[in-house]
Structure 1
């Protein structure tokens, strides 16, 4: 027992001495490093804090300016400014401008026609109006800002209005509209109230951190009032000595050349050392600056010192226990184990493990059993080698399987990009604008539904198609169907939907005539086509198992398609159905994926009756709202059930001006 406790005591003493020797220099270097750490983390904190708050103000400015430029560069804007008396151009501009107004943060826009000096304005507080609000005058001082901008060669400028009484700042985005000869047609844009963004900047502060905003002349625009805040509105009065003021002017110039980077400097503020971080907000020509008191700010949590001390004590305790456990394990327990192993081997249990050979008493006892132990070890290594070989083979097979799976996923994703590329979203939006929507939801990454759009001089051709199958097979069928439809339009023309369906049916049958396909495989395609002639106020519809719905919110009509799909085993008959194109009526074509979607309490399909009731109830809503509403209604009805099939709904309407 004395030998055993002696080993344990010596081990514990060795651990204590090692910890004491390491602790003294660690404390000395750690205390010195603490100051460097505080400075490093303080500068990083100040940079991140300043950059974040710069972005909170610069981001909405950039967004509003980009929207104002898009409104100014719109074709509808230019056409109307060149011909203010045109009712067609006027209506088109105000319809298009309403889409921009909903995107502006201030929910308002203005436009000034240079030829007449008429000012038009719409906002969310009053109904949309196409009547001028005001006529500018060169003799009116409040209109001088506009005449000062007429000769400005730049594309845009920002007007800043500061309300000192209400502590608010408003930005007006003035974007100039010019014709091809660079002649000024007018100015358009929006306004943005900076007060919410500034209030948010000043509200998220911590002890020892003071943010502020000032302009290029050093005049403070907004700041958080604290004990060390300056008494004047001049930022340079905030600094205690001349050198710091000169340094501030230098980093202000540097920040202008690098607006996306934060500049820092050490300065004396009211006689106290502070770290200043500054960034430039380019559109405003303002600066955002953060003053950080490294001693007061929580840039480094002091609790980690206590945590370090507790961790060190815990580590010391663990080392003591570990050494005690090691002595027990390496000396006492092996002796006991050797005795048990010797008894077991003597009894014929050769699987017993022996301690390693050592140059001590344990080693002398072990030598008597070394031959048996070596043999057991040899067999164990052989077994481990075989296990390792098989493990490597399994890992290699798993890597190959993962690589193959990734190739398949990448191929399907690329196929999805190709399939989306053939969809005429951009053409629909460019031609019909807000007078159309498409709800397209494939069941898988790729699907068997697609839609077409052709614009011709006399009208528009729109259609939806549902190829047999979904996923990759359905997507491949869409490529065949698309090729067949393009061929059919080229042969039959765009103004005869029934002829297009017949030619498409012939083309599909010709494509698949020589294919060795099983009878169980479906290759048919449902289709619905509409030719719209706005000048004659009529439309022609022809369908193959897809109908056309029309409603004004009170009455509803359903024009059924042919009973047989394209490419069906038996040829179908497709006829044109003529229908008057009535203002205020909305028209819909839908694949069976929407109608057959299971859901509800009993898991039944959505159904034609529920679909027509939904169309009739919401027909007068804007089409963009209808698309979101239909998707929400279907999702609520579907619940937790999976999507059965690909879903496509195409809707359009024409008003008097169309």
Structure 2
């Protein structure tokens, strides 16, 4: 009988020990759970504060870029200047974000008009800074002297751009594009194209790409450029564009829009006026892009003689 009581007492003590052990384990886990919960709550609060800071910073950056875009747009020329010598002119500058590296140029001379389209290295803020600097340089050059030769203007612009940005043994920026001169007195379009892109759409005849040189503006202070000439008849059109237009990915196979697709679009709509053509090109580009991100800055200019 005594042995049974002793054995029972022993078992009770073991149970109490086990209960105390599991109680301690449970309390330890509860403490760990409380610490983990506090850590997660603190982490969530920290993330919320960080997200708020990032949202505020993003808004500040977005607002700054948006305002910078307004400044850049204010530097775009008035197309009415060209209409003194031409039937009609229209251009589009669609930057990848609010600001970018594409710009257009227009300047009257005594006997005609200079006009062009330029595409700076990169896009976004770096492209915009180079684009604005280039626009100011061109305006300064054409305001300080009478220039009606695209090759001379391109060489002067090249020298100034190189010595401003690229003279210290490494290149940080250049521009590509086409500068044209037209005088109604000669009915000739003279243009200098430094890796520029464009088409001549004659009133009658085949649509042909504009010739160009393979040298960019600003890469070398002694770079050589070349003038090209086209006889212009009433009803002819010129299209200048940046590579962002034809390099945009999209379509069913997610391929580039391509120069050939643009050429076919121009052939199909050659009888329309430049305002109608501009709307068609922009709409076709947007449809091609679809839900894809814009690959690069996009710009084009259409001139009708």
Q: TM-score range by the shorter chain?
A: 0.7 to 0.9
Q: Residues 410 and 583 from structure 1, CA distance in 2 versus in 1: closer, same or farther, beyond 3 angstroms?
A: same
State the Cα distance separating 1:510 from its structure 2 match: 0.8
The 5-angstrom pairing of residues 542-553 of structure 1 reads: 542-551=192-201, 552=203
1:491 and 1:421 mapped to 2: Cα distance? 21
* Matched-pair contact (CA < 8 Å) for 1:449–1:646: yes
Q: Which of 114, 122, 129 does residue 469 from structure 1 map onto? A: 122
* Matched-pair contact (CA < 8 Å) for 2:96–2:298: yes
Task: Give TM-score scaled by structure 1 length.
Answer: 0.39
Deviations 1:550-604 (A, max 9, x none): 2225333433122111012585322222333310111111112222233445444
Are 1:447 and 2:119 an aligned pair? no
Deviations 1:361-419 (A, max 9, x none): xxxxxxxxxxx9xx999998877666655544443333222222222212211221111
Which residue number corresponds to residue 438 of structure 1? 91
1:347 and 1:548 mapped to 2: Cα distance? 88
Which residue number corresponds to residue 11 of structure 2? none
Are 1:525 and 2:178 an aligned pair? no
2:122 and 2:38 mapped to 1: Cα distance? 50
The 5-angstrom pairing of residues 212-361 of structure 1 reads: 347-348=19-20, 349-350=22-23
Which residue number corresponds to residue 73 of structure 2? 420
* Matched-pair contact (CA < 8 Å) for 2:109–2:146: no
2:90 and 2:246 mapped to 1: Cα distance? 18
State the Cα distance separating 1:613 from its structure 2 match: 3.0
Are 1:499 and 2:171 an aligned pair? no
* Matched-pair contact (CA < 8 Å) for 1:498–1:575: yes
Q: Which of 232, 235, 240 does residue 589 from structure 1 map onto? A: 240
Larger relative contact order (Cα-Cα within 8 Å, sequence gap ≥ 6): 2
2:182 and 2:121 mapped to 1: Cα distance? 27
* Deviates most, 376-385 or 494-503: 376-385
Deviations 1:486-526 (A, max 9, x none): 23324553411111100111001110245585x6x5x1210
Task: Give TM-score scaled by structure 2 length.
Answer: 0.80
* Matched-pair contact (CA < 8 Å) for 2:69–2:99: yes
Which residue number corresponds to residue 216 of structure 2? 565
Q: Residues 632 and 573 from structure 1, CA distance in 2 versus in 1: closer, same or farther, beyond 3 angstroms?
A: same
Deviations 1:232-261 (A, max 9, x none): xxxxxxxxxxxxxxxxxxxxxxxxxxxxxx
Which residue number corresponds to residue 267 of structure 1? none
* Matched-pair contact (CA < 8 Å) for 1:492–1:500: no
Deviations 1:168-211 (A, max 9, x none): xxxxxxxxxxxxxxxxxxxxxxxxxxxxxxxxxxxxxxxxxxxx
Deviations 1:75-97 (A, max 9, x none): xxxxxxxxxxxxxxxxxxxxxxx
Which residue number corresponds to residue 612 of structure 1? 263
Q: Which of 459, 471, 479 does residue 112 from structure 2 map onto? A: 459
Are 1:623 and 2:295 an aligned pair? no
Q: Residues 410 and 384 from structure 1, CA distance in 2 versus in 1: closer, same or farther, beyond 3 angstroms?
A: same
Larger Rg: 1
Which residue number corresponds to residue 135 of structure 2? 482
Where 1:347 maps in the other structure, the secondary structure is: helix
Where 2:152 maps in the other structure, the secondary structure is: helix
Q: Which runs of 5+ in 2 are unaligned?
A: 1-14
Q: Residues 344 and 586 from structure 1, CA distance in 2 versus in 1: closer, same or farther, beyond 3 angstroms?
A: farther
Q: Residues 414 and 345 from structure 1, CA distance in 2 versus in 1: closer, same or farther, beyond 3 angstroms?
A: farther
Where 2:285 maps in the other structure, the secondary structure is: helix
Q: Residues 539 and 392 from structure 1, CA distance in 2 versus in 1: closer, same or farther, beyond 3 angstroms?
A: same
Q: Residues 387 and 629 from structure 1, CA distance in 2 versus in 1: closer, same or farther, beyond 3 angstroms?
A: closer
Q: In the comparison of the two structures, how many residue pairs are matched? A: 287
1:608 and 1:492 mapped to 2: Cα distance? 36
Q: Residues 344 and 607 from structure 1, CA distance in 2 versus in 1: closer, same or farther, beyond 3 angstroms?
A: farther
* Matched-pair contact (CA < 8 Å) for 1:344–1:350: no
Q: Residues 492 and 558 from structure 1, CA distance in 2 versus in 1: closer, same or farther, beyond 3 angstroms?
A: farther
Q: Residues 377 and 455 from structure 1, CA distance in 2 versus in 1: closer, same or farther, beyond 3 angstroms?
A: same
Q: Residues 553 and 516 from structure 1, CA distance in 2 versus in 1: closer, same or farther, beyond 3 angstroms?
A: same
Which residue number corresponds to residue 644 of structure 1? 295
* Matched-pair contact (CA < 8 Å) for 2:107–2:142: no
1:448 and 1:541 mapped to 2: Cα distance? 21
Where 2:240 maps in the other structure, the secondary structure is: strand
* Matched-pair contact (CA < 8 Å) for 2:162–2:221: no
1:590 and 1:545 mapped to 2: Cα distance? 11
* Matched-pair contact (CA < 8 Å) for 2:159–2:221: no
